[in-house]
């Protein structure tokens, strides 16, 4: 096939042009990865300013794909955050595993729509397998089903939609058909330290961000089991496995039996913490969470699958299906599990393939080792900062460290200096009234040397 007009010799075949473009993309990607170690984690102000080259009105005519790629690498690459460098400790951000990265190239090449089996037997099969691997790694009951979504926010949304369906169906109300106006009331119980995404999910579901009963938390951010309200069969209780600041776990083993005795639905936001169940050493923190009714987690956090990839799991998946299905004459149920019936979206990226590839490359021991290695790096950070005279505000139980460098002003100033220095990147938070720097060791690529280099940069910034 020729893409050249006869008047424009020499003719370049479409296949040759595409191959050259993809080879160039691979070269640019490798160039990017090789350069990551020698550049600041956060982009320089100059690199961010240079993004203006990518602005402007849509050109009236086409631009060659080669030029498009050139623009992306020349101006886009330098203004990214070096996420896979091993020294990015912001938010709870992992770095994409090699197998997941390579799989995502292939997934993009395949351009599958992972809505129905008939649209992509490969994507749907691998998603089904990966979902069961995740269930197994998290120690959840056989028969649990779920959805691969964009992240824990959408996983919370999807699982809470299933909870809403189940409770209202029990009360004789069809919420999908009739909405929440006039429905029997649902009481939602959350911890004072619930992640903001739970409130957002409740808001999107019409249950209200603020229409919740809040249970006080202790000094580590754990829900207080001795302060639970009355619950009943119209209650959704939201627990947390892994506080975004401290990494602490709600005492599920002490709370869930009481909630279930009252007939409540228990949902767990375990965006990163639930993965501790994959490690024999850290499994103690997830004790009891397996008896909940639904769970939300992220594969782009601890397992380092790359953005974006979250997972919603529901013990009785028919509730998720009831909340998420839709009917149209052209959407036909085949013999297989149809992802679209369990997901908020219809058309969707085949992110389950990257999940399958990343988990397959790690195996059970690989997932456990990421949990163990990053948590041990977190302890190394805490010990180094403590030895240098700074205050660690949390019990470092997994991969999260909170450090104060003194007053709020001083801590914010040190964080700014650390970010500008570029050796590593950490963000700020306010923990129970105190300004702190958050260190989240979430990347498979972080080494002890990365920790020591970063520690030296932190101590330099705090002492200069
Ligand atoms: C405990 C918890 N829940 C939910 C989320 C939201 O996850 P996502 O950004 O993937 O939507 C996070 C993000 O850090 C989190 O730590």
* Whole-number pLDDT of residue 334: 85
How many Å lie between the centroid of ligand 1 and the Cα of residue 271?
5
* Whole-number pLDDT of residue 19: 96
How many Å lie between the centroid of ligand 1 and the Cα of residue 308?
12
d(CA 95, CA 442): 8
d(CA 83, CA 92): 11
Asked whether 183 and 175 are in contact (CB, 8 A), the reply is yes
Atom of ligand 1 nearest to the CA of 156: 4
How many Å lie between the centroid of ligand 1 and the Cα of residue 93?
10
Rg (C-alpha) for the chain, rounded Å, is 24
How many Å lie between the centroid of ligand 1 and the Cα of residue 234?
26
d(CA 78, CA 39): 9
- Phi and psi for 88 in degrees, rounded to 5? -100, 110
How many Å lie between the centroid of ligand 1 and the Cα of residue 153?
6
- Phi and psi for 421 in degrees, rounded to 5? -60, -40
Atom of ligand 1 nearest to the CA of 243: 1
Run of H or E residues at 32: helix 14-35
- Tokens linked to 52: 């203006």
Looking at ligand 1, which residue's alpha carbon is closest to its atom 2? 271
Looking at ligand 1, which residue's alpha carbon is closest to its atom 7? 152
* Whole-number pLDDT of residue 9: 52
pLDDT in tens, the chain (464 residues): 444 454 555 568 999 999 999 999 999 999 999 998 889 999 999 999 999 999 999 999 999 999 999 999 999 999 999 998 899 999 999 999 999 999 999 999 999 999 999 999 999 999 999 999 999 999 999 999 999 999 999 999 999 999 999 999 999 999 999 999 999 999 999 999 999 999 999 999 999 999 999 999 999 999 999 999 999 999 999 999 999 999 999 999 999 999 999 999 999 999 999 999 999 999 999 999 999 999 999 999 999 999 999 999 999 999 999 999 998 889 878 889 999 999 999 999 999 999 999 999 999 999 999 999 999 999 999 999 999 999 999 999 999 999 999 999 999 999 999 999 999 999 999 999 999 999 999 999 999 999 999 999 999 999 98
Atom of ligand 1 nearest to the CA of 300: 10
DSSP single-letter state for residue 73:
I
Written as one string, the DSSP assignment of 321-363 is HHHH----TT----SS--GGGGSS-SS---HHHHHHHHHHHHH
Asked whether 309 and 148 are in contact (CB, 8 A), the reply is yes
* Whole-number pLDDT of residue 333: 80
- The pocket around ligand 1, CB under 6 angstroms, is made up of 91-92, 151-153, 195, 197, 240, 242, 244, 269, 271-272, 298, 310
The residues facing 313 across adjacent strands are: 146, 295
d(CA 388, CA 383): 9
DSSP single-letter state for residue 317:
T
d(CA 136, CA 125): 17
Looking at ligand 1, which residue's alpha carbon is closest to its atom 16? 244
Atom of ligand 1 nearest to the CA of 298: 10
Atom of ligand 1 nearest to the CA of 270: 1
Q: pTM value?
A: 0.96
d(CA 436, CA 429): 5
d(CA 425, CA 359): 27
Determine the residue of 159, 195, 289, 442 to mutate for testing ligand 1's pocket, defined as the one with the most ligand atoms within 8 A of the Cβ atom.
195
The residues facing 145 across adjacent strands are: 314
How many Å lie between the centroid of ligand 1 and the Cα of residue 83?
17
Determine the residue of 271, 427, 442 to mutate for testing ligand 1's pocket, defined as the one with the most ligand atoms within 8 A of the Cβ atom.
271
Atom of ligand 1 nearest to the CA of 273: 1
d(CA 373, CA 362): 14
How many Å lie between the centroid of ligand 1 and the Cα of residue 41?
22
List the one residue out of 42, 385, 102, 397 whose CA is nearest residue 247: 397
Looking at ligand 1, which residue's alpha carbon is closest to its atom 14? 92
- Tokens linked to 352: 């389950």
Atom of ligand 1 nearest to the CA of 244: 16
The number of residues in the chain equals 464
* Whole-number pLDDT of residue 325: 94
Asked whether the bond before 10 is cis by omega within 30 degrees of 0, the reply is: yes
Query: What separation in angstroms does the CA of 303 have from each of 160, 226, 354?
Result: 23, 33, 11
Determine the residue of 88, 90, 197, 398 to mutate for testing ligand 1's pocket, defined as the one with the most ligand atoms within 8 A of the Cβ atom.
197
List the one residue out of 419, 422, 390 whose CA is nearest residue 403: 390
How many Å lie between the centroid of ligand 1 and the Cα of residue 309?
11
How many Å lie between the centroid of ligand 1 and the Cα of residue 311?
11
How many Å lie between the centroid of ligand 1 and the Cα of residue 318?
25
* Whole-number pLDDT of residue 328: 87
Written as one string, the DSSP assignment of 397-412 is -SSEEEEE-SSHHHHH
d(CA 425, CA 440): 10
């Amino acid at each position: 096939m020729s893409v050249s007009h006869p008047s424009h010799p020499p003719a370049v075949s479409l296949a040759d042009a595409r191959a050259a473009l993809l080879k160039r993309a691979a070269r640019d990607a490798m160039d990017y990865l090789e350069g990551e170690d020698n550049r600041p984690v956060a982009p320089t102000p100059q690199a961010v300013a240079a993004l203006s080259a990518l602005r402007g009105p849509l050109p009236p005519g086409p631009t060659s794909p080669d030029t498009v790629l050139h623009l992306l690498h020349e101006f886009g690459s330098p203004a990214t955050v070096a996420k896979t460098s091993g020294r990015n400790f912001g938010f709870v951000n992992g770095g994409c595993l090699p197998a997941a990265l390579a799989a995502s190239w292939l997934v993009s090449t395949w351009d599958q729509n992972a809505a129905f089996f008939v649209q992509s037997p490969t994507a749907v099969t691998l998603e089904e397998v990966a979902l069961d691997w995740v269930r197994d790694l998290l120690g959840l009951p056989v028969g649990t089903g779920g959805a691969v979504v964009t992240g824990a926010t959408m996983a919370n949304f999807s699982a809470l939609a299933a909870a809403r369906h189940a409770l209202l169906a029990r009360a004789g109300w069809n919420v999908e058909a009739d909405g929440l106006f006039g429905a029997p009331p649902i009481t939602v119980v959350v911890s004072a330290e619930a992640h903001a995404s739970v409130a957002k999910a409740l808001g999107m579901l019409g249950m209200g961000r603020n229409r919740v009963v809040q249970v006080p938390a202790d000094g580590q951010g754990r829900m207080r089991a001795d302060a639970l309200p009355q619950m009943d069969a119209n209650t959704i209780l939201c627990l947390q496995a892994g506080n975004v600041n401290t990494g602490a776990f709600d005492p599920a083993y002490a709370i869930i039996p009481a909630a279930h005795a009252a007939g409540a639905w228990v949902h767990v936001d375990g965006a990163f913490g639930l993965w501790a169940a994959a490690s024999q050493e850290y499994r103690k923190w997830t004790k009891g969470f397996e008896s909940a009714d639904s769970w939300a987690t992220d594969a782009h956090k601890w397992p380092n699958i790359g953005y974006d990839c979250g997972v919603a799991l529901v013990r009785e998946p028919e509730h998720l299906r009831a909340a998420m299905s839709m009917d149209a004459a052209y959407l036909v149920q085949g013999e297989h599990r149809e992802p679209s019936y369990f997901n908020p979206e219809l058309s969707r990226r085949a992110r389950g393939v990257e999940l399958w590839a990343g988990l397959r490359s790690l195996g059970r021991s690989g997932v456990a080792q990421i949990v163990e290695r990053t948590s041990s790096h977190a302890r190394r950070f805490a010990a180094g900062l403590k030895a240098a005279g700074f205050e660690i505000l949390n019990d470092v139980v997994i991969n999260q460290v909170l450090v104060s460098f003194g007053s709020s002003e001083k801590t914010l100033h040190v964080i700014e200096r650390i970010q500008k220095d570029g050796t590593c990147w950490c963000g700020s938070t306010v923990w129970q009234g105190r300004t702190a720097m958050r260190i989240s060791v979430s990347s498979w690529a972080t080494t002890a040397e990365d920790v020591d280099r970063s520690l030296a940069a932190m101590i330099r910034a705090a002492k200069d």
